[in-house]
Amino acid sequence: MNSSAHNATDNTSALEKGRDIVARLNPPLEGQLAEKYDDLVPDFAESLVEWAYGRHYARPGLDLKTRQLCTISALTVLGGQTSPQLKINIHHTLSAGAARSEVIEAIWQMAVYGGLPAAINGLNAAREVFDELDARQD
């Protein structure tokens, strides 16, 4: 699905576009972010949804699945300190239509650019997400 399909009209605000994408990937995300960070940084959640999802993920040119695969690749290369964000984005990548094998391959490819420790940390994060999802199905 082309990410431009998320845009109802050219007049849709970046916040609306972002909320459309978040609704597809992780509906409770904005509320969770607001609860955790808005007391520290007012409007943090809304700003993140508008900027990251509405201005970046909603751009034409790449579909949402590809953007999410790029995201988990970048987070993998950044290393173990990004594990919480990597896990959330692995969930988002699966919600965007990626297969588990595609997630693993995107992470493993980063061994070339971020090194084996970064790739291993990414694989560990993926295993945790997959195990969590499998446990929910039991």
CATH number at residue 74: 1.20.1290.10
Position 80 scores a pLDDT of 83
If asked whether residues 54 and 37 sit together in one domain, one would say yes
C-alpha distances out from residue 15 to 9, 18, 72, Å = 13, 5, 23
Average pLDDT over residues 59-76: 97
Range of the domain at 87: 63-138
pLDDT band at 11 (very low <50, low <70, confident <90, very high): confident
If asked whether residues 37 and 92 sit together in one domain, one would say no
C-alpha distances out from residue 135 to 86, 100, 115, 127, 138, Å = 19, 15, 30, 12, 5
